[in-house]
Amino acid sequence: MASQIVNELKYLEGATLPILHALQENFGYVDRRAVPMIADALNMSKAEIYGAITFYHDFREAPAGKRVVKLCRAEACQSMGCEDLVHYLETKQGIKIDSTSPSGHLTVETVYCLGNCALGPAALIDGALVGRVDKELLDAVCAERPHERMEG
């Protein structure tokens, strides 16, 4: 499937990003094993392809957890306590920022500005914008429980 994606998109101008996006969309991440295949198809070095993967924060090199929290750490959210939430996740929940929990349940990523500054700290939780994120909400996400502020 990966080789099919690469072969279909390699003729596009600036094909690197469309290929990486398509791989991420189909598999949930860009497997390192695809790097030589992409480099060969585009007549680029493996370093150039890997550089693109690591430069853009939306690309993952490993599968994400079942739940994904993108926690805003921009200045407005910092002033509202996001760094306390980062510390809480790392010390009380054992989940390092910009990684996936050992159980594979939760991936926590840093983002800078979600445009929800007035309701900071803000996060995208499974793609839904949430304001005033607190420890209770993070506990619910970490414990695999639904939370009333996230229900649609």
Asked, as a colleague might, if the bond just before 121 is cis with ω within 30 of 0, I would say yes
Per-residue pLDDT, 145: 55
Identify the structural domains of the chain with CATH numbers, from first to last. Answer: 2-55 (no CATH), 67-142 (3.40.30.10)
| Cα 27 from Cα 2, distance rounded (Å) | 9
Per-residue pLDDT, 87: 96
Length, in residues, of the chain: 152
Give Cα separations from 75 to 72, 116, 119, 129 (angstroms).
9, 12, 13, 18
Per-residue pLDDT, 152: 42
Cβ atoms of residues 61 and 72 within 8 Å: no
pTM of the model: 0.77
- Note down pLDDT in tens along the chain; length 152 residues: 999 999 999 999 999 999 999 999 999 999 999 999 999 999 999 999 999 999 988 899 999 999 999 999 999 999 999 999 999 999 988 999 999 988 889 999 999 999 999 999 999 999 999 999 999 999 999 886 554 445 44
Q: Phi first, then psi: give them for residue 119, nearest 5 degrees.
A: -115, 30
Per-residue pLDDT, 151: 46
Cβ atoms of residues 138 and 101 within 8 Å: no
| Cα 127 from Cα 28, distance rounded (Å) | 14
For 105, the token pair is 């349940």
Per-residue pLDDT, 146: 52
